[in-house]
Structure 1
Amino acid sequence: MCGRFTQIQSRDDYLEFLAEEVGKDIAYDPEPIGRYNVAPGTKVLLLNNRDDTLHLDPVVWSYAPGWWDKAPLINARVETAATSRMFKPLWNHCRAIVFADGWFEWKKEGDKKQPYYIYRKDRKPLYFAAIGKQPFDAGDDAEGFLIVTAAAGKGLVDIHDRRPLVFTPSAALTWMDPETTGVQASELAHHVAVSTDEFIWHPVTRSVGNVKNQSPELIRNICY
């Protein structure tokens, strides 16, 4: 699953790596976002395509439609999201991207759970696949969004059996394109996502378990 992640750099940094032309209609903002412990239930900058223009909107990370009588959901499994009653409309028409640098997972070690920070080997930005309730600029009345997850695979499965679905920059743009069909989105999700081989991880302080904590110390490798 994905229950915490970081959104540290400025939005300009994420947009620049995505593609030079995509940020031309988004206001320039070089200030680092500086969120070292992004938690569910908080508003997160969500990149989405409306009317053939990319927008960044603060959207709540959780999803619970009016008929849902359980706790809000934060993740959708790539294996079932495209066909489920709850997520199929979102998959087909309401896709977006979440900027990130890495994410946290907890592994049971002895009688305690040790958090790990997971990120790309080359330290490049991550583009998480997301689905949600449009319009994403609806403010507090919006039902929010979910991060799409996939099986972890290989060494990463030793930390957790699920991981966010991460796209390359070009795949991220295609994922958000309203002209991309649900079937095409599934092809992207299953065949173009960034491989598990591209990620590394290290143990971090248990202080990340407290959502109030926000500092660079949360991603520091505690083995050094």
Structure 2
Amino acid sequence: MCGRFSLVEAMHDLQAYYQFEMRDDFLYTPNRNLAPSQSAAAVVELNGKRYPASFRWGLIPPFAKDQKIGFKTFNARSETVSEKPSFKKAFESKRCLIPATSFYEWKKSGKEKQPFEIKRRDGDPITFAGLWESWRSGDELVRSCTILTTEPNDLMADIHNRMPVILERTDFDTWLNPDAESSSLHQLLKPCAGDLLTAEPISRERFKKSAGS
């Protein structure tokens, strides 16, 4: 699973890496400990061009009665994403890239949990495979997102039994393409190579310090 991550990249670096066109209404605030229900930056494609977007983290499907479901849908299992009612439509037509500087996971050790910070070894941003949706209640419109997860690679298996789906830059066009075939999309929903990432144990005190935006 992925329940916490950071994004502290400079905006011009994100724009250069993801090749998106800026929007005047896009607001970006770096966050060292982004949690479900908070605003997450994402990249979407519209008419062949990429744009930045802000989504509430925790996907709220259109049929939801209220926003609380988002606390259960901040992750989507890649093995069933094309079947689950909450994610099926989004998987078909509302896919996005969710950038991160790092993500956090906790390894159980007896009664204690050791936090780890996971980053790309090459220093590039991590790119999660994401889905987004629009939910409306009266005049209120909420756009929200989820991060897809998969089985762990060799590195992550020692820490947790799930990990986020991490896309490479060569995957971006396929993932964002509204006409991409389902088979092509499913080929991307796999663990990344173990040597792509590093996992460093961090103290609880350091983690608390990193929680500030």
Equivalent position to 1:204, from 199, 202, 205: 202
Task: Give the secondary-structure state (helix, strand or coil) at the position aligned to 2:185.
Answer: helix
Letter matched to residue 203 of structure 2: T
Pair 179,71 (structure 1): closer, same or farther in 2 beyond 3 Å = closer
Question: What is the distance in 2 between the residues matched to 1:58 and 1:86?
Answer: 20
TM-score between both structures, scaled by the size of structure 2: 0.84
Structure with higher strand content? 2
Equivalent position to 1:40, from 22, 36, 39: 36
Deviation at 1:210, TM superposition (A): 5.5
1:46-78 CA distances to partner (integer Å, 9 max, x unpaired)?
Answer: 110122221111110012333468742100011
Question: What is the distance in 1 between the residues matched to 2:84 and 2:152?
Answer: 21
Q: Is the 8 A contact 1:121 1:198 kept in 2?
A: yes
Q: Percent identity?
A: 25
Partner of residue 192, structure 2? 194
Partner of residue 124, structure 2? 124
Which consecutive unaligned segments of at least 5 residues does structure 1 have? 216-224
Partner of residue 102, structure 2? 102
Question: What is the distance in 2 between the residues matched to 1:121 and 1:209?
Answer: 20
Pair 40,207 (structure 1): closer, same or farther in 2 beyond 3 Å = farther
Question: What is the distance in 1 between the residues matched to 2:177 and 2:10?
Answer: 23
Letter matched to residue 113 of structure 1: K
* Residue 76 of structure 1 pairs with residue 72 of structure 2: no
Which consecutive unaligned segments of at least 5 residues does structure 2 have? none
Q: Is the 8 A contact 1:5 1:103 kept in 2?
A: yes
User: Aligned runs of 1:135-150 on 2, under 5 Å?
Assistant: 141-150=141-150
User: Aligned runs of 1:153-168 on 2, under 5 Å?
Assistant: 153-168=153-168
Question: What is the distance in 1 between the residues matched to 2:129 and 2:102?
Answer: 14
1:187-219 CA distances to partner (integer Å, 9 max, x unpaired)?
Answer: 2224xx63233111111122476699317xxxx
Task: Give the secondary-structure state (helix, strand or coil) at the position aligned to 1:166.
Answer: coil
Q: Is the 8 A contact 1:94 1:134 kept in 2?
A: no
* Residue 63 of structure 1 pairs with residue 59 of structure 2: yes
Question: What is the distance in 1 between the residues matched to 2:203 and 2:85?
Answer: 39
RMSD over aligned Cα atoms: 2.8
Pair 67,59 (structure 1): closer, same or farther in 2 beyond 3 Å = closer
Letter matched to residue 202 of structure 1: E
Question: What is the distance in 2 between the residues matched to 1:184 and 1:211?
Answer: 41
